[in-house]
Structure 1
Amino acid sequence: MNALAPSASRWHQRMWGALLVKRLPVIGRPSLSLEQAPQGLFLLWLAFMGLLVFGAALMWQHGLWHRLVQADPTGLTIVIVLLFLGCSVWAGMRCWALGLQWQALQSGGAMATAEQVSWAHDYLQARGHAHTDKSILLQVLSDRAHGPQEMAWWLNGIQLKLGLLGKVIGFSVLALELGRMDGFDPQQSAQMLKSLTGGLGIALLTTITGLAANILLGLQLMRIDRFADGLVAKILTLGEAQAIQSSVTGAVE
């Protein structure tokens, strides 16, 4: 089903975080058994976010968040964390929307409610017309399933780039401090080491934060993409079955 996704949903797999996530066990499967339950994808997302909240609470208890803010005067780590939180909330909303489409498909695929437009209903209804271009229908269905994730994948890459930007800034600060040194004074060694390690701390912390956010958000988006692949495959299978049934019925008549 990867061939059905837009081109933007393929280039994201070349990013480091997505490449690592893709190689994790069972992550690449189109659909897990839990996800096939009503709103199973959203429940899986809630469980994942619960683990992250637990880890964040432990970091707060040990004062790691305060140290992280103090060690990075550029504020890039805070920007990365806020960007990750915003994208994760959007991922939860997307999981809920895809879950509604899965429920509509499981109920027959031919019913559309006033609150939620059924992709299966629209696809099957348009496919029933004799002069409909099926390739256009496939593109529309694929864009509905994968299009909204493109911006999320782009923001996921921005997290990594912000981490690398922090590394460049940190090493630039380190280089400037080294350039100001005229000589080694044993009496000022403590202050000199503090100045040098400040730039190194910025470089390391922003890079680690960017990599961690990239991988954790990539886990969420990869499962959303795989679930969308399974949803599109199910709708296409239902459309082919409907077409075969119509042809058999027409032949009998």
Structure 2
Amino acid sequence: MNPPTPASAPHHRMLGASLVSRIPGASHGTLALERMEHGLFLLWLAYMGLLVFGALLLWQAGAWHRLVDADPTGLTVTIVLLFIGCSVWAGRRAWVLGWQRQRLDAQLAAAHHPTSPTGWSAEYHQGCALPGADHSIWLQVLGERAHGPHEMAWWLNGIQLKLGLLGKVIGFSILALQLGQMDSFDASQSSLLLKNLTGGLGIALLTTVTGLTGNILLGLQLMRLDRFADALVADTLAAGLTPPATPPQEPPHGDRPRGP
């Protein structure tokens, strides 16, 4: 197992990343479909199509209306909007990484032709070819280009989980306040009491479930982006490992060619 890059190491300490990494196939290298032209973006489109289809089924079943009505705090709506925004960003990032993959493949295919390649990989190779260039600095630049923007997305992914836990605390706080206001049990007010108690319990459960679901679904997208970026960096480094040219050796006896 390859060691994680310094930019992506903190991600694996988050709950969402640890849950997603245990899903079969989530932590594997790039798939054959992802190596196609904009394959990562097409895979993201297919994934989002499944999510949109599931959301439409929930809409027809009235689940979204009940979800909004049962949560007066608005945390569930905030979590859903945050998930949608981060998912759109993940799709845009998948397009950018796919384009950089095409630039690298074009650079490798035209290695023996006089071309002017573009992209992160070409910038890394051109920087390392400069006289006195520090390869470690250019490697950090390449890693930042490939993984740097994912840091904020992983942080927002953790915010979904924290908002769900915040809703859980608020719901149980409401539940505790309702119980504290009970001086005596009156059978005539049992229905109103149960309604207030289930309201606080509903806020706690719905926000927690929404936060966990958004955390896992967004974590799947970010995990594939990280793995694709890792493969892009690895292939860029492998493309730059060219064997040094062997210096010509002088014949052992002046101009006399080597031979029997």
TM-score bucket of the superposed structures, by smaller chain: over 0.9
1:108 aligned onto 2:104 = no
Deviations along 1:121-165, one digit per CA (max 9) or x if unpaired, are: 101111112311111011111011000000000000000000000
Match of 1:77 in 2: 76
Amino acid at match of 1:105: L
Whichever residue aligns with residue 132 of structure 2, its letter is H
Q: Which runs of 5+ in 1 are unaligned?
A: none
Aligned counterparts, 1:117-128, within 5 A: 117-128=118-129
- Counterpart of 2:253 in structure 1 is none
Partner of 1:64: 63
Q: Residue 198 of structure 1 corresponds to which residue in structure 2?
A: 199
Deviation at 1:252, TM superposition (A): 4.4
- 1:251 corresponds to which of 247, 252, 255: 247
1:43 alignment partner in structure 2: 42
Q: 1:229 to 1:5 in 2, by over 3 A?
A: farther
Q: Does 1:239 align with 2:235?
A: no
More helix as a share of residues: 1
Query: Which runs of 5 or more structure 2 residues have no equivalent in the other structure?
Result: 250-260
Residue-by-residue CA offset, 1:57-97 (whole Å, 9 max, x unaligned): 00000000000000000000000000000000000000000
For the residue of structure 2 that corresponds to 1:107, the secondary structure is helix
Identity of aligned residues (%): 62
Letter in 2 for 1:13: H
Matches within 5 A, 1:1-253: 2-6=3-7, 9-109=8-108, 117-241=118-242, 244=243, 247-248=244-245, 251-252=247-248
Q: Secondary structure of the equivalent of 1:12?
A: helix
- For 1:17 and 1:228, how far apart are their aligned partners in 2? 19
Residue identity in the other structure for 2:136: S
Q: Cα RMSD (Å) of the superposition?
A: 1.5
Counterpart Cα distance in 2 of 1:252 and 1:198? 84
**2:4 and 2:142 mapped to 1: Cα distance?**
13
- Between the aligned partners of 2:179 and 2:38, the Cα distance in structure 1 is 56
2:256 alignment partner in structure 1? none
Distance 1:170 1:74 in 2: 9
Distance 1:174 1:112 in 2: 66
Distance 2:30 2:47 in 1: 16
Structure 2: distance between partners of 1:189 and 1:158: 37
Contact 1:2 1:229 in 2 (8 A): no
Letter in 2 for 1:84: F
Deviation at 1:2, TM superposition (A): 4.4
Cα distance in 2 for partners of 1:93, 1:112 equals 26
TM-fit CA distance, 1:120? 1.0
CA spacing shift, 1:21–1:95, aligned 2, 3 Å? same
2:16 is paired with a residue whose SS is helix
What is the identity, as a one-letter code, of the residue corresponding to 2:133?
A: T
1:233, 1:23 → 2: CA distance? 23
Deviation at 1:103, TM superposition (A): 0.4
Deviation of 1:27 (Å): 1.3
- For residues 17 and 139 of structure 1, the distance between their equivalents in structure 2, rounded to whole angstroms, comes to 26
**Largest Rg, 1 or 2:** 2
More displaced 10-residue stretch of structure 1: 15-24 or 36-45: 15-24
One-letter amino acid of the counterpart of residue 82, structure 1: L
1:10, CA displacement in angstroms? 1.4
Structure 1 residue 5: Cα displacement: 3.8
